[in-house]
Amino acid sequence: MAIKLFGLFVAVSVLVECLCFLIKSLSIESDHLFACPRFTYGHAGTVYKEFVYISGGHDYQIGPYRKNLLCYDYRTDVWEEKRPMITARGWHSMCTLQDSIYSIGGSDDNIETMARFDILSVESYSPQCNQWTRVAPLLQANSESGVAVWEGKIYILGGYSWEETVFSKTVQVYDKEKNKWYKGTDLPKAIAGVSACVCALKPKTEDKKKKTKTKKHQDRGR
């Protein structure tokens, strides 16, 4: 299902359990997939420069999620523990915007009751300083939402609220300069467990020809 929203987002109805590194885009010659230092699921991941970062999640069916942040260097095939997040979370979103990595929303389990609750907090991580900073929280719950970055803004598509037990069709947009979230155009339907990406579309050949003819016609009138 393709969704046009200030650009083109492609939302895919599939639950992402692990991060698949873009080996081809980095021209890595390898006959094996790198392994995480420990079993984990419900985590999120992103790529920053030539490094893979994953955060949160856990390795048990019940119980609180982790704050951990792991960084993978494909050149040395080594995972390194980085400064943990401020808030433990799982089923959240991660993305890279400029020189910062963002860990967005998600959920966690209450340590006493094991009841799942929503997390609206958002954190920004500086790879250069190895430091997390709180930024403006989400407008609403977003577990298992899609995330994409377009023209300097973060887009959170859909998601699920464990407290309200409802899916969402809301698009939440983060403006880094203003440190503010605002509501974008709703998706056609409520959805969660999705992936999102931005596709750069080139003008059709016919459109180019029309523009060329129009320009020549205007030139003749001058």
Q: How far is CA 35 from CA 42, 92, 200, 204, in A?
A: 16, 21, 32, 42
Q: What is the pLDDT of residue 215?
A: 52
Mean pLDDT taken over the chain = 82
Residue 17 is predicted with a pLDDT of 35
Which pLDDT belongs to residue 38? 74
Q: How many CB atoms are located within 10 Å of the residue 159 CB?
A: 33
| Strand 93-97 with 78-82, pairing | unpaired
pLDDT value at residue 111: 82
Q: What is the pLDDT of residue 207?
A: 57
What pLDDT shows up at residue 181?
98
In the chain, which ranges are continuous DSSP H helix? 205-220
Instruction: Check residue 55 and give its pLDDT.
Output: 96
Domains, the chain, in order of start with CATH, read 2-220 (2.120.10.80)
CA distance 7 to 186: 14
Residues 6+ apart with CB under 8 A from 188: 1, 3, 169
In the predicted model, residues of the chain with pLDDT beneath 50 are 1-28, 217, 219-222
Q: Which residues contact 95 (CB under 8 A, 6 or more apart)?
A: 46, 101, 102, 104, 147, 148, 149, 154
Residue 54: what pLDDT? 95
How many Å apart are CA 112 and CA 153, to the nearest integer?
Answer: 37
pTM, full prediction: 0.78
pLDDT of res. 11:
36
Residues 6+ apart with CB under 8 A from 23: 30, 74
